[in-house]
């Protein structure tokens, strides 16, 4: 399958049409942004790692019965995926308090949550991805109640699978963001799962001040060792150096 015209360029990926109307090619870039694009940078090799890592995780999730957009990896940076209509909700699942959750509720980062939380942001760069609840999302026609119900169930199933997967690699899954799409009447998992979209902490470093981030927080918070963290996670997942 070949790349035709570029359909969309996001902060971290480009999307190209193909000769198949049901498929697009996603190209992963090394560009990194944070705080709704206010902070910009490059993480060398990130595109390759996120492409391969996301695909490995999607293969694992498919085996657990979670439908995903993955069709086939073409090469290090390019993957054929099903052409979905993205539901403009960022679905955030949390197991441990961190980031905006800690700020919002005044709890320390590292606080273990009594149950996983599922929350949504309305995907809009212009508005800065505001927090949204189900009735607002259905009222605005962003998604139906049935779709939000499916997304919630799938997000929690993804959480279960990812917690177990990362545990084996000595990594604690703190939180992550998913995006879902509509494809032939079904809701399927789209976008990516990578250190850009997950908080991954070295196992056993939950302590609120001493945890070791193996994810994009190293870029967001200027912690240094950004590339090394991405490479470390990829090495544990793939067994590759």
Select from 16, 176, 219, 230 the one that contacts ligand TMP (CB under 6 A): 176
Select from 31, 99, 113, 202 the one that contacts ligand TMP (CB under 6 A): 99
Residue 90 CA to residue 7 CA, distance in Å, equals 21
Could you give the strand order of the β-sheet that contains 70-73, starting from the edge strand earlier in sequence? 6-9, 13-17, 23-28, 78-82, 70-73
Select from 83, 177, 211, 218 the one that contacts ligand TMP (CB under 6 A): 177
Query: What mask, x for binding ligand TMP by CB under 6 A, covers residues 37 to 76?
Result: ----------------------------------------
Select from 69, 199, 211, 218 the one that contacts ligand TMP (CB under 6 A): 199
Are 99 and 117 in contact by the 8 Å Cβ rule? The answer is: no
Residue 53 three-state SS:
helix
Total residues contacting ligand TMP (rule CB under 6 A)? 12
Residue 103 CA to residue 99 CA, distance in Å, equals 7
Are 181 and 8 in contact by the 8 Å Cβ rule? The answer is: no
Are 121 and 99 in contact by the 8 Å Cβ rule? The answer is: no
Beta-strand runs (E) in the chain: 6-9, 13-17, 23-28, 31-34, 39-42, 70-73, 78-82, 85-86, 89-96, 112-122, 131-132, 171-183, 186-190, 198-202
Q: Least CB distance from residue 2 to ligand TMP, whole Å?
A: 30
By beta-carbon proximity to ligand TMP, the closer residue of 159 and 231 is 159
Q: Least CB distance from residue 117 to ligand TMP, whole Å?
A: 10
CB atoms within 10 A of CB 78: 18
What DSSP designation does 147 have? H
Q: Least CB distance from residue 19 to ligand TMP, whole Å?
A: 31
Q: Least CB distance from residue 199 to ligand TMP, whole Å?
A: 4
Decide: is 198 part of the binding site for ligand TMP (CB under 6 A): yes
Select from 54, 68, 91, 197 the one that contacts ligand TMP (CB under 6 A): 197
| Residue position matching structure tokens 């939000």 | 148
Which residue has its beta carbon closest to ligand TMP?
99
Residue 56 CA to residue 59 CA, distance in Å, equals 5
Question: Measured between alpha carbons, how far apart are the two ends of the chain, in Å?
Answer: 29
Decide: is 175 part of the binding site for ligand TMP (CB under 6 A): yes
Decide: is 101 part of the binding site for ligand TMP (CB under 6 A): yes
Select from 44, 100, 125, 130 the one that contacts ligand TMP (CB under 6 A): 100
Query: What mask, x for binding ligand TMP by CB under 6 A, covers residues 111 to 140?
Result: ------------------x-----------
Residues contributing to the site for ligand TMP (CB under 6 A): 92, 98-101, 129, 175-177, 197-199
């Amino acid at each position: 399958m070949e790349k035709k015209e570029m359909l969309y360029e996001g902060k971290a990926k480009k999307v190209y049409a193909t000769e198949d109307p049901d498929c697009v090619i996603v190209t992963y870039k090394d560009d990194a942004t944070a705080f709704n694009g206010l902070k910009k940078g490059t993480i060398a090799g990130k595109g390759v790692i996120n492409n391969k890592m996301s695909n490995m995780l999607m293969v694992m999730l498919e085996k657990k019965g979670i439908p995903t957009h993955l069709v086939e990896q073409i090469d290090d940076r390019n993957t054929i995926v099903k052409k979905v209509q993205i539901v403009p909700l960022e679905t955030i699942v949390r197991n441990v308090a961190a980031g905006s959750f800690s700020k919002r509720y005044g709890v320390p980062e590292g606080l273990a949550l009594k149950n996983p939380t599922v929350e949504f942001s309305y995907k809009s760069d212009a508005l800065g991805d505001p927090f949204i609840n189900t009735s607002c999302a259905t009222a605005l026609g962003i998604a139906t109640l049935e779709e939000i119900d499916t997304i919630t169930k799938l997000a929690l199933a993804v959480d279960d699978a990812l917690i177990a997967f990362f545990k084996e690699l000595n990594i604690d899954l703190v939180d992550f963001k998913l995006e879902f799409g509509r494809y032939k009447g079904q809701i399927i998992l789209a976008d990516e799962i990578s250190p850009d979209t997950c908080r991954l902490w070295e196992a056993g470093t939950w302590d609120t001040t001493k945890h070791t981030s193996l994810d994009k927080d190293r870029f967001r918070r200027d912690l240094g060792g950004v590339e090394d963290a991405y490479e470390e996670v990829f090495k544990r997942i793939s067994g590759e150096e």
